Structure 1
Amino acid sequence: MRGWGGTGCPGFANLDKAEPLKRGVQCPLANETRVFRISDPETGATCRYAAVPSSHTFSSAQQVCTSCFGGQLASIHNYHTNAEMQFWGGIEIKDTEFWIGGVIDYQNQAVNCHWADGSSWNYAHWQQGYPQHSGHACATFCVTDGLWRSASCAQQMPFVCEF
Protein backbone atom coordinates (compact mmCIF):
# COMPACT_ATOMS: atom_id res chain seq x y z
CA MET A 1 0.00 0.00 0.00
CA ARG A 2 1.45 3.30 -1.12
CA GLY A 3 2.15 5.32 2.02
CA TRP A 4 -1.37 5.42 3.44
CA GLY A 5 -2.07 5.31 7.14
CA GLY A 6 0.22 5.07 10.11
CA THR A 7 2.71 2.56 8.78
CA GLY A 8 5.67 4.33 10.41
CA CYS A 9 8.38 6.28 8.70
CA PRO A 10 11.50 4.26 7.93
CA GLY A 11 14.64 6.37 8.20
CA PHE A 12 12.82 9.33 9.73
CA ALA A 13 14.74 9.05 13.02
CA ASN A 14 17.92 9.80 11.09
CA LEU A 15 16.68 13.30 10.29
CA ASP A 16 17.87 14.54 13.69
CA LYS A 17 21.41 13.41 12.96
CA ALA A 18 21.53 14.14 9.22
CA GLU A 19 23.14 10.77 8.69
CA PRO A 20 23.40 9.50 5.15
CA LEU A 21 21.31 6.43 4.45
CA LYS A 22 21.40 4.15 1.42
CA ARG A 23 23.56 5.13 -1.53
CA GLY A 24 25.18 8.07 0.22
CA VAL A 25 22.01 10.18 0.30
CA GLN A 26 22.26 13.06 2.76
CA CYS A 27 18.96 13.34 4.60
CA PRO A 28 17.62 16.75 5.60
CA LEU A 29 17.53 17.61 9.30
CA ALA A 30 14.15 17.43 11.04
CA ASN A 31 14.11 21.22 11.43
CA GLU A 32 14.66 21.58 7.66
CA THR A 33 11.44 19.79 6.74
CA ARG A 34 7.78 20.03 7.65
CA VAL A 35 5.63 16.92 7.88
CA PHE A 36 1.90 17.30 7.27
CA ARG A 37 -1.08 15.01 6.64
CA ILE A 38 -3.82 15.12 4.06
CA SER A 39 -6.99 13.07 4.49
CA ASP A 40 -8.97 11.96 1.47
CA PRO A 41 -12.68 12.53 2.15
CA GLU A 42 -13.66 10.03 -0.58
CA THR A 43 -11.69 7.07 0.79
CA GLY A 44 -11.05 8.13 4.38
CA ALA A 45 -7.34 7.40 3.89
CA THR A 46 -4.70 9.72 5.32
CA CYS A 47 -1.26 10.17 3.83
CA ARG A 48 1.80 11.86 5.31
CA TYR A 49 3.91 14.30 3.35
CA ALA A 50 7.24 15.99 3.96
CA ALA A 51 7.94 19.38 2.41
CA VAL A 52 11.67 19.70 1.68
CA PRO A 53 12.61 23.30 0.82
CA SER A 54 16.16 22.55 -0.38
CA SER A 55 16.58 22.33 -4.16
CA HIS A 56 17.30 19.03 -5.91
CA THR A 57 16.90 17.58 -9.39
CA PHE A 58 13.87 15.32 -9.81
CA SER A 59 16.02 12.19 -9.55
CA SER A 60 17.86 13.43 -6.47
CA ALA A 61 14.57 14.44 -4.82
CA GLN A 62 13.16 10.97 -5.49
CA GLN A 63 16.26 9.41 -3.87
CA VAL A 64 15.83 11.59 -0.77
CA CYS A 65 12.15 10.59 -0.54
CA THR A 66 12.98 6.89 -0.83
CA SER A 67 16.08 6.76 1.37
CA CYS A 68 15.16 9.29 4.06
CA PHE A 69 11.38 8.94 4.33
CA GLY A 70 10.72 5.46 2.95
CA GLY A 71 8.39 7.03 0.38
CA GLN A 72 8.21 8.63 -3.06
CA LEU A 73 7.68 12.05 -4.56
CA ALA A 74 4.02 12.95 -4.01
CA SER A 75 1.30 11.74 -6.34
CA ILE A 76 -2.02 13.58 -6.49
CA HIS A 77 -5.23 11.72 -7.29
CA ASN A 78 -8.05 14.22 -6.73
CA TYR A 79 -8.95 17.89 -6.45
CA HIS A 80 -9.11 17.82 -2.64
CA THR A 81 -5.52 16.58 -2.31
CA ASN A 82 -4.42 19.12 -4.94
CA ALA A 83 -6.03 21.99 -2.98
CA GLU A 84 -4.49 20.81 0.30
CA MET A 85 -1.09 20.47 -1.41
CA GLN A 86 -1.41 24.07 -2.61
CA PHE A 87 -2.19 25.23 0.93
CA TRP A 88 0.62 23.30 2.67
CA GLY A 89 3.12 23.85 -0.12
CA GLY A 90 2.50 27.58 0.04
CA ILE A 91 3.19 27.62 3.76
CA GLU A 92 6.15 25.26 3.89
CA ILE A 93 8.01 25.88 0.63
CA LYS A 94 9.00 29.45 -0.06
CA ASP A 95 9.61 28.93 -3.80
CA THR A 96 6.64 29.16 -6.14
CA GLU A 97 7.16 25.68 -7.63
CA PHE A 98 8.16 22.27 -6.31
CA TRP A 99 8.52 18.75 -7.65
CA ILE A 100 5.69 16.26 -7.44
CA GLY A 101 6.07 12.69 -8.69
CA GLY A 102 4.72 13.09 -12.22
CA VAL A 103 6.83 11.90 -15.15
CA ILE A 104 6.00 12.91 -18.71
CA ASP A 105 7.24 11.10 -21.81
CA TYR A 106 6.60 12.30 -25.35
CA GLN A 107 6.69 9.64 -28.03
CA ASN A 108 5.38 9.95 -31.58
CA GLN A 109 3.63 13.23 -30.70
CA ALA A 110 1.73 11.49 -27.87
CA VAL A 111 1.97 12.47 -24.21
CA ASN A 112 2.31 9.64 -21.69
CA CYS A 113 2.12 10.61 -18.01
CA HIS A 114 2.73 8.37 -15.01
CA TRP A 115 3.49 8.67 -11.30
CA ALA A 116 6.94 7.74 -10.03
CA ASP A 117 5.32 5.64 -7.27
CA GLY A 118 3.56 3.44 -9.84
CA SER A 119 0.03 4.49 -8.81
CA SER A 120 -2.61 5.09 -11.48
CA TRP A 121 -2.64 8.41 -13.35
CA ASN A 122 -6.30 9.14 -12.65
CA TYR A 123 -6.19 12.91 -12.12
CA ALA A 124 -4.34 15.88 -13.62
CA HIS A 125 -4.45 19.63 -13.00
CA TRP A 126 -2.25 21.05 -15.76
CA GLN A 127 -1.95 24.73 -16.52
CA GLN A 128 -3.37 25.50 -19.96
CA GLY A 129 -0.77 24.64 -22.61
CA TYR A 130 0.97 22.05 -20.42
CA PRO A 131 2.50 19.59 -20.33
CA GLN A 132 4.98 21.07 -22.75
CA HIS A 133 8.45 19.83 -23.36
CA SER A 134 9.99 17.36 -25.74
CA GLY A 135 11.31 13.94 -24.93
CA HIS A 136 11.21 13.48 -21.16
CA ALA A 137 10.00 15.93 -18.50
CA CYS A 138 8.81 15.99 -14.89
CA ALA A 139 5.83 17.61 -13.17
CA THR A 140 6.04 20.70 -10.99
CA PHE A 141 3.35 22.10 -8.71
CA CYS A 142 2.80 25.88 -8.63
CA VAL A 143 1.71 27.12 -5.21
CA THR A 144 0.25 30.39 -6.51
CA ASP A 145 -2.52 28.71 -8.53
CA GLY A 146 -2.35 24.97 -7.73
CA LEU A 147 -1.72 24.14 -11.37
CA TRP A 148 0.92 21.76 -12.70
CA ARG A 149 3.62 22.49 -15.21
CA SER A 150 6.25 20.38 -16.94
CA ALA A 151 9.96 21.14 -16.62
CA SER A 152 13.28 19.57 -17.39
CA CYS A 153 13.94 16.90 -14.75
CA ALA A 154 17.49 18.31 -14.44
CA GLN A 155 16.21 21.59 -12.93
CA GLN A 156 16.70 21.99 -9.21
CA MET A 157 13.77 22.89 -6.99
CA PRO A 158 12.16 22.01 -3.63
CA PHE A 159 9.93 18.94 -3.43
CA VAL A 160 7.26 17.11 -1.45
CA CYS A 161 7.61 13.46 -0.43
CA GLU A 162 4.69 11.16 0.31
CA PHE A 163 5.18 8.39 2.85
Structure 2
Amino acid sequence: EQEIPDEEGEEESGEPEPPCPTESEIVRMVVPGTGGRTYRYVLVRSCQTFRRAQRQCSRCYRGRLASIHSRAVNHHLQCTVRARTKRSDVWIGAYASRRVFVSVHAHWMDHSIWNYSKWAPGYPKCFRKKCVTMCTARWRWGSRHCLGKKSPGVGEP
Protein backbone atom coordinates (compact mmCIF):
# COMPACT_ATOMS: atom_id res chain seq x y z
CA GLU A 1 0.00 0.00 0.00
CA GLN A 2 1.34 3.41 -0.94
CA GLU A 3 1.38 6.25 1.53
CA ILE A 4 -0.37 9.21 -0.06
CA PRO A 5 0.48 12.49 1.64
CA ASP A 6 -2.24 14.74 3.04
CA GLU A 7 -2.08 18.09 4.65
CA GLU A 8 -2.55 17.48 8.36
CA GLY A 9 -6.17 17.68 9.44
CA GLU A 10 -7.52 18.05 5.90
CA GLU A 11 -9.41 15.39 3.98
CA GLU A 12 -10.94 15.40 0.55
CA SER A 13 -14.72 15.26 0.42
CA GLY A 14 -16.47 11.97 -0.18
CA GLU A 15 -17.29 12.92 -3.75
CA PRO A 16 -17.56 10.04 -6.23
CA GLU A 17 -14.57 9.39 -8.45
CA PRO A 18 -14.73 11.30 -11.73
CA PRO A 19 -14.83 9.25 -14.93
CA CYS A 20 -11.56 8.35 -16.58
CA PRO A 21 -10.30 11.00 -19.01
CA THR A 22 -11.18 10.65 -22.66
CA GLU A 23 -8.44 10.28 -25.28
CA SER A 24 -8.81 13.97 -26.14
CA GLU A 25 -8.02 14.90 -22.50
CA ILE A 26 -4.70 13.05 -22.35
CA VAL A 27 -1.33 12.98 -24.07
CA ARG A 28 0.45 9.64 -24.40
CA MET A 29 4.24 9.79 -24.37
CA VAL A 30 6.93 7.23 -25.12
CA VAL A 31 10.38 8.07 -23.80
CA PRO A 32 13.45 6.08 -24.83
CA GLY A 33 15.57 4.92 -21.90
CA THR A 34 18.95 3.32 -21.53
CA GLY A 35 19.68 -0.19 -22.73
CA GLY A 36 16.84 -0.16 -25.25
CA ARG A 37 14.20 0.22 -22.53
CA THR A 38 11.11 2.29 -23.34
CA TYR A 39 9.10 4.23 -20.77
CA ARG A 40 5.42 5.03 -21.32
CA TYR A 41 3.67 7.99 -19.70
CA VAL A 42 0.27 9.63 -19.80
CA LEU A 43 -0.27 13.34 -19.21
CA VAL A 44 -3.81 14.13 -18.03
CA ARG A 45 -4.73 17.74 -18.69
CA SER A 46 -7.49 18.31 -16.11
CA CYS A 47 -6.70 19.70 -12.64
CA GLN A 48 -6.78 17.40 -9.61
CA THR A 49 -5.31 17.17 -6.14
CA PHE A 50 -2.29 14.91 -5.67
CA ARG A 51 -4.39 12.15 -4.07
CA ARG A 52 -6.99 12.19 -6.85
CA ALA A 53 -4.26 12.26 -9.50
CA GLN A 54 -2.61 9.19 -7.95
CA ARG A 55 -5.94 7.36 -7.71
CA GLN A 56 -6.79 8.29 -11.30
CA CYS A 57 -3.46 6.90 -12.53
CA SER A 58 -4.13 3.67 -10.66
CA ARG A 59 -7.79 3.29 -11.59
CA CYS A 60 -7.73 4.44 -15.20
CA TYR A 61 -4.25 3.37 -16.36
CA ARG A 62 -3.18 0.73 -13.83
CA GLY A 63 -0.14 2.89 -13.13
CA ARG A 64 1.10 5.56 -10.77
CA LEU A 65 2.39 9.11 -10.85
CA ALA A 66 5.82 9.10 -12.44
CA SER A 67 9.11 8.63 -10.65
CA ILE A 68 11.94 10.19 -12.65
CA HIS A 69 15.46 8.78 -12.47
CA SER A 70 17.46 10.53 -15.17
CA ARG A 71 18.10 13.91 -16.74
CA ALA A 72 17.12 12.59 -20.18
CA VAL A 73 13.70 11.33 -19.05
CA ASN A 74 13.04 14.50 -17.03
CA HIS A 75 13.98 16.73 -19.98
CA HIS A 76 11.83 14.77 -22.43
CA LEU A 77 8.82 14.86 -20.08
CA GLN A 78 9.21 18.58 -19.36
CA CYS A 79 9.49 19.43 -23.07
CA THR A 80 6.41 17.39 -23.92
CA VAL A 81 4.36 18.71 -21.00
CA ARG A 82 5.33 22.29 -21.82
CA ALA A 83 4.41 21.85 -25.49
CA ARG A 84 1.14 19.97 -24.90
CA THR A 85 -0.49 21.79 -21.97
CA LYS A 86 -0.89 25.32 -20.69
CA ARG A 87 -0.24 24.20 -17.12
CA SER A 88 2.92 25.50 -15.49
CA ASP A 89 3.01 22.75 -12.81
CA VAL A 90 2.11 19.08 -13.01
CA TRP A 91 2.28 16.45 -10.27
CA ILE A 92 4.96 13.79 -10.32
CA GLY A 93 5.03 10.83 -7.96
CA ALA A 94 7.09 12.21 -5.09
CA TYR A 95 6.68 13.94 -1.77
CA ALA A 96 9.05 15.78 0.54
CA SER A 97 9.03 15.75 4.32
CA ARG A 98 11.14 17.27 7.06
CA ARG A 99 12.94 14.92 9.43
CA VAL A 100 13.65 16.01 12.99
CA PHE A 101 12.99 19.65 12.02
CA VAL A 102 16.40 19.79 10.38
CA SER A 103 16.70 18.27 6.94
CA VAL A 104 14.18 17.73 4.17
CA HIS A 105 14.05 14.38 2.41
CA ALA A 106 12.19 13.47 -0.76
CA HIS A 107 10.70 10.07 -1.54
CA TRP A 108 9.18 8.44 -4.60
CA MET A 109 5.68 7.05 -4.12
CA ASP A 110 6.74 3.76 -5.71
CA HIS A 111 9.55 3.41 -3.13
CA SER A 112 12.23 3.41 -5.82
CA ILE A 113 15.64 4.86 -5.00
CA TRP A 114 15.96 8.67 -4.97
CA ASN A 115 18.84 8.99 -7.43
CA TYR A 116 17.90 12.07 -9.43
CA SER A 117 16.26 15.44 -8.78
CA LYS A 118 15.89 18.80 -10.49
CA TRP A 119 14.83 21.14 -7.66
CA ALA A 120 14.32 24.84 -8.21
CA PRO A 121 16.58 26.99 -5.98
CA GLY A 122 15.27 26.98 -2.40
CA TYR A 123 13.24 23.77 -2.82
CA PRO A 124 12.01 21.48 -1.47
CA LYS A 125 10.24 23.70 1.02
CA CYS A 126 8.22 22.02 3.71
CA PHE A 127 7.28 22.01 7.34
CA ARG A 128 4.82 19.18 6.81
CA LYS A 129 4.66 16.80 3.89
CA LYS A 130 4.50 18.45 0.48
CA CYS A 131 3.92 16.87 -2.88
CA VAL A 132 6.28 17.43 -5.80
CA THR A 133 5.49 19.23 -9.03
CA MET A 134 7.35 19.49 -12.28
CA CYS A 135 7.42 23.20 -13.09
CA THR A 136 7.55 23.57 -16.85
CA ALA A 137 8.04 27.36 -16.81
CA ARG A 138 11.24 27.15 -14.74
CA TRP A 139 12.40 23.68 -15.93
CA ARG A 140 12.71 22.65 -12.27
CA TRP A 141 10.76 20.85 -9.56
CA GLY A 142 8.92 22.43 -6.65
CA SER A 143 7.03 21.27 -3.56
CA ARG A 144 3.39 22.26 -3.08
CA HIS A 145 0.43 21.60 -0.79
CA CYS A 146 -0.93 18.19 -1.76
CA LEU A 147 -4.52 19.43 -1.71
CA GLY A 148 -3.84 22.17 -4.25
CA LYS A 149 -5.22 21.43 -7.70
CA LYS A 150 -2.62 20.93 -10.40
CA SER A 151 -2.80 19.01 -13.61
CA PRO A 152 -2.92 15.37 -12.56
CA GLY A 153 0.49 15.17 -13.99
CA VAL A 154 2.59 12.61 -15.61
CA GLY A 155 1.81 9.01 -14.83
CA GLU A 156 3.35 5.71 -15.76
CA PRO A 157 0.79 3.16 -16.97
TM-score tier by shorter-chain length is: 0.7 to 0.9
Distance 1:93 1:60 in 2: 19
Q: How does 1:44-123 map to 2 (within 5 A)?
A: 44-108=36-100, 109-123=102-116
Residue 60 of structure 2 aligns to a residue whose secondary structure is helix
2:150 paired with 1:162: no
Q: Tell me whether 1:149 sits opposite 2:136 in the alignment.
A: no
Instruction: Give the aligned length.
Output: 140
TM-superposed CA distance for 1:96, in Å, is 0.8
Residues 1:126 and 1:53: Cα distance change in structure 2 (over 3 Å): same
- 1:3-47: CA deviation from partner (whole Å, max 9, x where unpaired): xxxxxxxxxxxxxxxxxxxx845211111111011111x332111
Describe the SS at the equivalent of 1:132.
Answer: coil
Q: Which residue of 2 aligns with 1:28?
A: 21
Unaligned stretches of 5+ in structure 2?
A: 1-15
Contact 2:64 2:155 in 1 (8 A): yes
The residue matched to 2:39 in structure 1 has which SS?
strand
Query: Over aligned residues, Cα RMSD in angstroms?
Result: 1.3
**SS of the residue aligned with 2:67?**
coil
Which protein, 1 or 2, shows the higher relative CO under an 8 Å CA cutoff with sep ≥ 6?
2
Return the offset for 1:145. 2.9
In the TM superposition, what whole-angstrom CA distance separates every residue of 1:125-145 from its partner, at most 9, and x where no partner exists?
101110012110011001123
In structure 2, do the counterparts of structure 1 residues 62 and 132 end up closer, same or farther at CA, with 3 Å as the change threshold? same
C-alpha distance in structure 1 between counterparts of 2:19 and 2:99, whole Å: 35
User: Which residue does the alignment assign to 1:7?
Assistant: none
Which runs of 5 or more structure 1 residues have no equivalent in the other structure? 1-22
Q: Alpha-carbon deviation of 1:116?
A: 1.0
3-state DSSP of counterpart to 2:51: helix
TM-score by length of 1: 0.81
TM-score by length of 2: 0.84
Question: What amino acid is aligned across from residue 74 of structure 1 in structure 2?
Answer: A
Rounded Cα–Cα distance in structure 1 between residues aligned with 2:108 and 2:60: 19
- 1:30-76: CA deviation from partner (whole Å, max 9, x where unpaired): 11111011111x33211111111100010100000001011100111
- The DSSP-based 3-state class of the residue aligned with 1:133 is coil
